[in-house]
Structure 1
Amino acid sequence: MEQLKGIKQGNDKEEIVRIKQALNQTFKIKDLENLRYFLGLEVVRSLLACKPAPTPIDNHEKFSSTESVPFTYIQTYRRLIGRLMYLTNTRPDITFFVQQLSQFLAKPTIAHYNAAIRILRYIKGAPSLGLFFSSTTSVHLKAFCDSDWGTCSDSRQSVTGFSVYLGNSLVSWKSKKQGTISKSSCEA
């Protein structure tokens, strides 16, 4: 490993080849070329050929199973939501919206599909907003929770959510539809 001292990061192809050779001498590695999967996550180099969106979903949008034309490609919608759900492992900023859209896997509408595409446009515009764990942050545990009142247009159930931070790093989060219907915002 003496050969690896003084290595810098960058895009220098010759330096990368030299590092790979040094690693191979010590560890017998195999070069798999372009990264496709890492730690169970698929790496995609481009999203859509469209303009990025500033937010994942319009704040005033309420989803319902009856207020739009049914989306005929149900499998396409399910695959898209499944991929977005997997992405929430590293992108907690889209978790709530993906959870909202996942309620309509049986009968998606055009509005649901368009909202999912908007989440992709948001991700394209903010690719670096994933989880970040700093080594210099203070080790203080903070937790936040909140709920809304009657978010679901169909069932009128409220949604509760929480997030837990270790220093400035998000370590746990969840949003879930409540099991009972609240009669007031205090009960929610």
Structure 2
Amino acid sequence: MGNDEVAIKSLKKYLHTTFHIKDLGAPKYFLGIEIARSHQGISLSQRKFVLEIILEVGLSGCRPTVIPIEQNIRLTTADHTGETSQDDPILQDPTSYQKLVGKLIYLTMTKPDISYVVQNLSQFMHKPKESHMNAALKVVKYLKGCPGLMILLSRRCNMEMTAYCDADYATCPMSRRSITGFCIKLGDSLLSWKIEKQATVSLTSAEAEYWAMAKTTCEIVWIRGLLGDLGI
């Protein structure tokens, strides 16, 4: 990337003589991500990928939900709650769950609104239960209501970086570890976001908040370095 057209053409010519590449022009579809350009900026979406997931799991005719997960729901492992197999049995074939959650993880590249629930579901890939599969299908029902939701990288940008972070204290019922969540914007454009379980158990909510701020600060430093390399 760069703003020197002569240098870019020279590099393309060199790469072509070495690897025989083909210049496809401005990208429109790349690894499942649809890229559209307008006077507002560049939008990124995975609408086609979402529709393929909905069709694959057989929920084309279902009624969409307005939220990806119920409030205060606590998913647990099979050994934690003491539930009987009749109440919440372990899936005999976890492949379908693993495949679905893997695709949902890829969707978080352009859909930060499902990051929290997908982070939760990805913890049960080894021995998923029926409740885990139902929760994953609820995410698909939510996506059915907003398949074209996209990330807009605005053309108008004041180049000011803004970061938001938070911590959900001791939210994991199995480890009592807290959850860190953050998002970072450049102007009005969302650049980076993440939700993950903290590495250690925080003894107070204040400690959990500091861990969240530390993780966010690390991401800010990395993005500033990247922008510096791009001459910003």
TM range (shorter): 0.7 to 0.9
Greater than 6 Å deviation, 4+ residue runs = none
Residue of structure 2 in register with 1:176 after alignment:
196
* Mapped pair 1:71 → 2:62: no
* Residues 73-112 of structure 1: per-residue CA shift (max 9 Å, x gap): 2010000000000111111111111011000000111111
* Mapped pair 1:50 → 2:62: yes
SS at match of 1:108: coil
CA-CA distance at 1:71 after TM superposition: 2.0
Pairs within 5 Å for 1:51-130: 51-66=63-78, 67=81, 68-130=88-150
CA-CA distance at 1:137 after TM superposition: 4.4
With normalisation by structure 2, the TM-score equals 0.62
How many angstroms apart in 1 are the aligned matches of 2:139 and 2:70?
10
How many angstroms apart in 2 are the aligned matches of 1:56 and 1:185?
26
Percent same amino acid among aligned pairs?
39
1:141 is matched with which residue: 157, 161, 165?
161
Q: Which has the larger helix fraction?
A: 2
Conserved? CA contact 1:92–1:130, under 8 Å = no
SS at match of 1:50: coil
- Give the count of matched residue pairs: 155
With normalisation by structure 1, the TM-score equals 0.75
One-letter code aligned to 1:130: M
Give the aligned CA root-mean-square deviation in angstroms.
2.2
CA-CA distance at 1:139 after TM superposition: 2.9
* Residues 22-56 of structure 1: per-residue CA shift (max 9 Å, x gap): xxxxx9x9xxxxxxx93011734452221101011
Of 178-187 and 113-122, deviating more is 178-187
Residue of structure 2 in register with 1:24 after alignment:
none
For structure 1, which runs of at least 5 residues remain unmatched after alignment? 1-26, 30-36
One-letter code aligned to 1:178: Q
